[in-house]
Amino acid sequence: MNYPNGKKGRSPSPGKKRPQSKPDFSNRGMTLEEDINQTNKAYLELNRAVIHKKPTPVQIVNVDFPKRSAAVIKEAYFKQASTTDYNGIYKGRYIDFEAKETKNKTSFPLANVHQHQIDHMKQVCEHGGICFLIIRFSTLGETYFLEAEKLFPYWERQKDGGRKSIPYQEIVTKGYIISLKYHIRVDYLHVLDDLYF
């Protein structure tokens, strides 16, 4: 192969295999969060909504100062269980939601959600806020919007000894698919407009 600068590419010696690069798993599980962060940034720039990721409350216990200009946190603990991932305001309504990603193709495991998050979502709904889940089936490349009120019966059923997941087909039926776009990756405001405004 010849490169555009005129130099010839080297072909591997016969019998030698090219070294395989190791897959990079450093950002695995972060793609939905990154897409939503990019979406929220676009909403803010377009003055459509003000929605941010909530910081996780952390108590720093031990810090090392190897230099004056650098500090290294050596020990820290979560102060309390966090509630949901995102909150903000859209068209005068409080918005609060959790983003979850699963590799499961047939169902959404309820183990991805915690009791304190359910309690928080119920309080938000009781006070007139809009609360929901954004669920990505990463293996299928599909992202869904599921209203919190539709999540609660599955949670109660599981607590009563029932199934510990929501079947994929029920999320397809009861949720709303969010098509990925270029500028606004996960345009969930489009679903909110159809449901609430």
Q: How far apart are CA 144 and CA 176, in angstroms?
A: 5
Contact status, residue 18 vs residue 163, Cβ threshold 8 Å: no
For residue 149, say whether it is annotated as part of any ligand binding site. no
For residue 158, say whether it is annotated as part of any ligand binding site. no
Which DSSP string corresponds to 96-118?
A: EEEEEEE--SSEEEGGGS-HHHH
For residue 85, say whether it is annotated as part of any ligand binding site. yes
For residue 117, say whether it is annotated as part of any ligand binding site. yes
Residues making up the annotated binding site are: 83, 85, 98, 117
Residues making up the annotated binding site for Mg(2+) are: 83, 85, 98, 117
